[in-house]
Amino acid sequence: MDLHLQKSKVKSQKSKATITGSKSETNRLLLLQALYPNISIENTSISDDSEVMSRALNSQLTTHNSQLIDVHHAGTAMRFLTAYFAQKENCEIILTGSSRMKERPIKVLVDALQQLGADIEYLENTGFPPIKIKGKKLTQNKVSLPANVSSQYISALLLIAPKLENGLILTLEGDITSMPYIKMTLEILHEIGIKTSFLGNKITVCHAELVSASQFTIESDWSSASYWYSIVALSEIGFQVTLSSYKENSLQGDSALVNIYQDFGVETVFNYNNSITISKERIHNSQLTTHNSQLNNSPDIAQTIAVTCFGLGIACDLYGLHTLKIKETDRLEALKTELSKLGAQVCVTNNSLHLEASTKFLENQKINTYQDHRMAMAFAPMALKVPIIIQEAEVVSKSYPTFWHDLKNFGFEITSV
């Protein structure tokens, strides 16, 4: 499904939107709920990724036949489920995914799990899905892995750690990527009563056979909020939108939006009812010729920021983006290609993106989304500047299924082509 977004204007100066729970928090809690059934969860994500996680964790498994579980494009589910099924005794599963998923590396995690005693084998290409897992009791409790790869590998190990009979001592080697996601995992473990420590490069998680009954209300997804920050930034002064439900002391690294978007004239107010109001208070800083962001801790908002800067006619230098090359697509090359279609001058390295300032936008360009939800949503706000076509627009269901419906409610003119 391709969508044509006419050059649009938001229909109301004051609007509201509801965004469901964080995909990151939801998937962590779904796995912990599978380990400890007395945990209850509210405001779960309605994303495809979380649906995949939920279905897989509720599968009726048997040792008689290998059960096939297809996670499609869900990278978080692939990593978390690999760890979960490795420690689940008396099950045998084949974990696979889309053609792109079969290109996304998983060797670092599999090596770590094998250090703990896991029985995992590759079925096609070494280091990549699909993999066959024979669940068993994992008795080893010490493992090390590179820290400059996806933090999902680290979180996958931490989430199963309390169920390992001797807990886990995890040593991280090198510089740590996406620290907020690791801290999110540890904080959630702490909230259900698991004892943990993080000293230097060593994380310790204690064994816990049982935990006290807990109820969690998941904070809404800051990554999804980023597209509204971009819409506000590209709108006229005075436009504001209220989003629910968000916390000022968020566990999510993408809450860095609050500070980053001040450069673009966007202010954030945290309301008493756990909502936020974001508003365009001024034009962006006239002294700002180039926006700089170090995004090691929040790489998922890089696409949004790059498009915002392009729409505002600001240059940008974004750093700390090496993990974007192994996402749903190589997001750095994808950004370069699609922004160039609109008239941008972009260059990328293995971990950075550099955009030159431009005030000319080419109309009705077809933006390839590469089966990547964030490409679709990051480029959509450009419709406030120029008509644009988003290809394979249904991909937004991966994290934000109601995205196009919400945009229409705000006044965006959207038709199928």
Dmax over CA atoms of the chain, in Å, equals: 67
Of the three residues 198, 217, 236, the one that is the final residue of a domain is 217
Q: Domain of 309? A: 3-19+248-254+286-416
Q: Is there a binding annotation on residue 144?
A: no
The answer to whether residues 14 and 153 belong to one domain is: no
Q: Is there a binding annotation on residue 262?
A: no
The answer to whether residues 51 and 150 belong to one domain is: yes
- In angstroms, the CA 10 to CA 407 distance is 9
The answer to whether residues 14 and 40 belong to one domain is: no
Neighbouring residues of 104: CB distance < 8 A, sequence distance ≥ 6: 75, 78, 97, 128, 129, 326, 327
pLDDT < 50 regions, the chain: none
Q: Which of 221, 263, 300, 372 is catalytic?
A: 300
From residue 17, give the alpha-carbon distance in Å to each of 244, 278, 372, 409: 7, 11, 23, 9
pLDDT digits (tens, 9 = 90+) for 394-414: 999 989 999 999 999 989 999
H helices present in 360-410, as ranges: 373-379, 403-409
The answer to whether residues 161 and 128 belong to one domain is: yes
The pair of structure tokens assigned to 58 is 């509720």
Residue 139 falls inside a structural domain: yes
pLDDT digits (tens, 9 = 90+) for 54-107: 999 988 665 567 899 999 988 999 999 999 999 999 899 999 999 989 999 999
Residue 317 falls inside a structural domain: yes
Residue 274 falls inside a structural domain: no
Look at the chain and count its residues: 417
**Comparing C-alpha atoms, which of 99, 110, 154, 155 is closest to residue 132?**
110
Q: Is there a binding annotation on residue 399?
A: no
Burial readout 89-126 (b: 16 or more C-beta within 10 A, e: otherwise): eebbbbbbbbebbeebebebbbbbbeebebebeeeeee
pLDDT digits (tens, 9 = 90+) for 176-202: 877 889 999 999 999 999 999 999 999
Q: Is there a binding annotation on residue 300?
A: yes
Q: Is there a binding annotation on residue 100?
A: no
**Comparing C-alpha atoms, which of 296, 76, 86, 111 is closest to residue 185?**
76
The answer to whether residues 75 and 15 belong to one domain is: no
The pair of structure tokens assigned to 366 is 């077809």
49 given a catalytic annotation:
no
- In angstroms, the CA 125 to CA 72 distance is 17
For residue 241, the cross-strand partners are 15, 278
The answer to whether residues 14 and 35 belong to one domain is: no
From residue 231, give the alpha-carbon distance in Å to each of 84, 173, 225, 356, 385: 38, 39, 10, 21, 10
The answer to whether residues 305 and 398 belong to one domain is: yes
For residue 389, the cross-strand partners are 4, 366
Q: Is there a binding annotation on residue 70?
A: no
Q: Is there a binding annotation on residue 137?
A: no
**Crossing angle for the helix pair 75-87 and 23-35, to the nearest 10 degrees:** 10
pLDDT value, residue 73: 87
Q: What is the pTM of this model?
A: 0.87
The pair of structure tokens assigned to 326 is 């192994």
Q: Is there a binding annotation on residue 374?
A: yes
Q: Is there a binding annotation on residue 23?
A: yes
pLDDT value, residue 156: 97
- The C-alpha R_g of the chain, in whole angstroms, comes to 21
